[in-house]
Structure 1
Amino acid sequence: MAAVLIHGFFLLLLILMCFSISPSLQHISEAEPLVRFKNSVKITKGDLNSWRLGTDPCSGKWFGIYCQKGLTVSGIHVTRLGLSGTISVDDLKALANLKTVRLDNNLLSGPLPHFFKLRGLKSIMLSNNTFSGEIPDDFFKDMSKLKRLFLDHNQFVGKIPSSIMQLPHLEELHLQDNKFSGEIPPLIETNKNLKSLDLSNNQLEGEVPAGLSDRKNLVMKLEGNEGLCGKAVNVGCEAIDPKETGDGIPPTSEGTDNSNRTTINAVLLVISFLMMCCIVVGFIKKRNKKQNAGFRKLDKERPSDVVEVKVPESTTVKRSTESSKKRGGNPEGGSTKKGSSHGKGGGGRGGGGGMGDIIMVNTDKGSFGLPDLMKAAAEVLGNGSLGSAYKAVMANGLAVVVKRIRDMNKLASEAFDVEMRRLGKIRHPNVLTPLAYHYRQEEKLVVSEYMPKSSLLYVLHGDRGIQHSELTWATRLKIIQGVAHGMQFLHEEFASYELPHGNLKSSNILLSETYEPLISDYAFLPFLQPSNAQAMFAYKTPEFAQNQQVSHKSDVYCLGIIVLEILTGKFPSQYLNTGKGGIDIVEWVQSSIAEHKEEELIDPEIGNNADSVQQMLELLRTGAACIASNPDERPDMRETVRRIEQVKK
């Protein structure tokens, strides 16, 4: 009996051991096809030495490999390594959960590899290679899950495969700068997801399908295809004579007349449109001049414009309050006295469409009204993704920043007031609390204290004087840790928000006289319509690009960019809408870490501090963990802050 029990115990133990090691065996089995794939191509501008048999591709150490929840390989992102040769798609069939193949900016050539064998793919990105030849018309017929296809800047010829336009879930299609010819295939009616279509600079001809021309919310680029006609390109199809394009026979006089008539009609239409615009603009300016005379000093948009206004010494809080009493508690443009009756940090509610007044939500710096702002010396600070910013210095010496935001239209005045009062109660040494707001239907003003050192963006990249020289290792660490503390506070305070911040970047981190960072422009998501919210930096994260999703981990990604920006001293191209300019800090950091060249990332201006290099590298790795493409692989905000706090000067 005892022998049976012992035998049963060992059998159970063996089963448990098998279960415990099965994930590792799975990872190792996924390593084999990846290594075969690596060996099938040549690498001329780097290496994939981290791809080794017997190791785990989902350990986070394999360059360019992304895993689904850390369990199975879901993405291959190998760019800018000078890959050449023949891709062995058959090797990748063993990766059951592979969703993304990204091999852009390499030297790959030949016909399009047989990716149709990988039916589970959602993204194929092969831009900027030298692939060539025709693509079979039915190439994509079995790839029903495909959402993104980037074949641009290659040398493909022939017709665009009709099977591409039959994909039911296709969202983005980029075929620009190839040599595709013939007509554009019609889009399947059941596809309601296509948002971006770029077919520019090919040799396409014929009428653009109505299913594309009439599609709303579709960004379509067709320039560089002289043979196209239809509503989408503003060229009448009768103006293109098939005889001329087909047999070289010149057009008939009737065709010439039609073409001339079309041209004349187009010119007349443009002239009429311009005249109408002038009339509308003139009317709007006249109306705004009457209604909003006080805003004229805030209407200057050029950074060189500085408006100096002499402010009478009597323009103080006391004078404003006394004037309020004389007018029955409602002065022209508002009353600070009335505001105080709503409680500490209060203020009256502004009207929905009129001028209203400045509504105080935080009186730590005193109270002021709209007339005080209108009489202040105003200076344009710049334009951001959500609006313009101005510096105003009032008669009592208080310097404030006025942010003019046009797209905060989601909330009515009362709901807007509730949210702003909540922000006005924020108290944290690394979070900038707004002082006041002004509500109008067309635009909103948010007023906060001016910080003497300006923004981190300016000090790090724009200023090369004393302020920049003061960005020592100790100062940079202080800024990073301060930002981390502020973000942790916001994630606790606005835990129920999808994005507690949503727009964290160096231009929204202000610096005090002692370089204490203060986070601004946070918790704005409830104020914005979904279409306007996409101007926020969190909407440039990989998860939104791939799945149109954002979460708390999106803020973690943005914090990671800040950490790497401060440590490297480089301006991230991720901040730019075009992506052109600066440096792709994500790709640069990830490739350098994979090649064990982390020290080359450190800004030379602080890298000579040999005693602190290890702390810098430790912080660098934390920043790199935050920018993982898969949000499930990023640490949460609490863990990120814990890691940052562990770094000592």
Structure 2
Amino acid sequence: MAAVHLFRPPIFAFVVFLFFLNCRPVLSVSDTELLLKLKQSFTNAKSLDSWSSETTTPCEGKTSWVGVLCYNGVITGLRLGEMGLSGNIDVKALEKMPGLRSVSFTNNAFSGPLPKFNRLGALKAIYLTGNKFSGEIPSDYFAGMSSLKKVWLANNEFMGEIPVSLAKLKHLIEVHLEDNKFTGKIPSITQATLTSFNVSNNDLKGGIPSSLSKFNMSSFTGNAGLCGKQLGKVCDATLPPQELELPDGGGLDAAIGNALPAESPESKMGTGHATSAKVALASITFIVVVLSLVIAAIVVIKRRRDELEIFGGDLDDPPVDVYVTPRSNRKSVEQSSWKGMESSRKSSSHSTRSLSQASKASSQNNKAGGSSNGEAGVGDLIIVNDEKGIFGLPDLMKAAAEVLGNGGLGSAYKAVMSSGVAVVVKRMREMNRIGKEGFDAEMRQLGRLRHRNILTPLAYHYRKEEKLMIYEFVPKGSLLYLLHGDKGPCHAELDWPVRLKIVRGIVHGMSFLHNELSCYELPHGNLKSSNIFLGSEYEPLLSDYGLCAFVSPNHAAQALFAYRAPESQQNRQISPKCDVYCLGIVILEILTGKFPSQYLNNGKGGIDVVQWVLSAISENREIDLFDPEIAQDATSLSEMERLLHVGAACVDHDPVRRLGMKDAIRRIEDIHVEEDSRGGIQVAPSLRDGYGDLTSRSHTVNVREGYGELSSRRSSRESNSGRRESSSRRRGDEDSFEFAIS
């Protein structure tokens, strides 16, 4: 009996508590073991050397495991594209990662049947493009994957019919099945959320479902048996012989007559009843047709509204700490345009549709042609900068458009016109602070700006409800992507000399704007890394400046980053010092390599770089702040610290103590590269000698594939090639994080 009394409830509770306490570290070890088990299933896994039990756990420490995405210590995604992997994919190991939402194994050498990813019911994105997977996919494969949004199986060797279970995924956004051996008919996929669809280069037959009519020819080419208006091939409306057999000696009337029930005596009571029946039948038919048209109109309107709101991102997804889609895994329209990208014959049409579909509401009253004569008529495309030639609104409406993203001010599309010129079309809302004439005057002023570090707008289209602003398409993309994306070739080149060059170029551009737009409350107003694009030589180009003239103050507080300055949020005080605050954030972002939480509306995710940096400086721990990829340059640490202190002075909470733009420029110009480790890289000339020479020079940007943040990609195709020459690229998973374009 005494032994029984020893095990009292309090002691039992304490034992349970110790059990769960001891279980906590086992969870992270479990993640380590699961990933190592997955690694063991691969062959030639040298690219995963960072996956080691001797290092930190996958989601902890400064050095994360390559290709592993985490959020709050939980593995949420795997990005293992282009790593030379083959063998098997151990799905059983992945099953034990409850937070896993996306997997990418693109452009590797995996083969065999499609792995059983359908065991992972919470997956939102699967990317398997560019492997050697083969065989048929069961028709019910996707039945249990209700969360799935993106399916990329292109450039493999799958055969059989397209799984009909795809059509039942309610949240489907992207489907890419091109360059396989699929047969049969295309299932009717009716989801309004679908923005990207491609089944080109298969062996499909039959008509293109009307629910997919919004996608253009490139989504369906290479299927000899397909027909539909997109392909310019009318489908045969006659039924096959086995479905309608005519009796011997009889015609069509006889065939129909034999198919009807025999007449009863009552049915032969004269023509009066027959006439009444015909009238009734006609009335019913008319009512059915009218109702069908009404329902179709409602569906089209809802679909358009959904398409404009959903561009592939997950608005309800938890933010990932800092992850930007790896561009090296994305599709490109012109394969030669992507740096380091090899030739490929494959093609896809990610997020491709006519821009007229995306902006139809803006163009119903359009006049034909562009307008370069200074008349800002409603419906015209007004050219304010003719460096890329003259083009009109019809040229844009006919162009294939790709959704790039959406932000506080609207949506962005990439459009490639028939001339080959690629532009970015920003569809802006909430820009009604000034009327049509004032808008025209402001746009023409911005269009006259010329500076090597400024991206000048090309044209605009005005309507009261919304405006289109057209910009040049920049090659490398945004600073945000290069800093926070996967560690590809471009990221590897971001050493200390290049980063200092970028900072100097930014302050050159800001100095120019503060001189030319000195009458503005905020000469830039929206400076952040997503609005800084990089030319081929890493020369920065500032965009989205001067927008405060168009946006009402109430909406600007939500849409423009300068309004996040402390004095604006607390006292609604706006001045050029707010631009200085934004400059400081960008400088700290460049030096630390951390994504600033200040960019996010809800403050969730990223790092509060201001608090982090100021705290470390107060404790003389500056050396701990620098991005490890530049901290190894010991000869330049003192110069890095000088720039760090400039950035800290730019984000001072008190605008009176905060550096002015001229002082910031002066201090940055005093910082030099101690040793040119890149073999001759040059930073921009000093502004203290006068920037008159710079103001007369226009930036030069090659129009190549590559737009900042989360742009979609396509692979190129050699039409006469009958075999695969190289693996095509795919667009990276964008479920992990979505960055605003404005």
TM-score, length basis structure 1: 0.49
Q: Indicate the structure whose relative CO is greater, using CA pairs within 8 Å and at least 6 residues apart.
A: 2
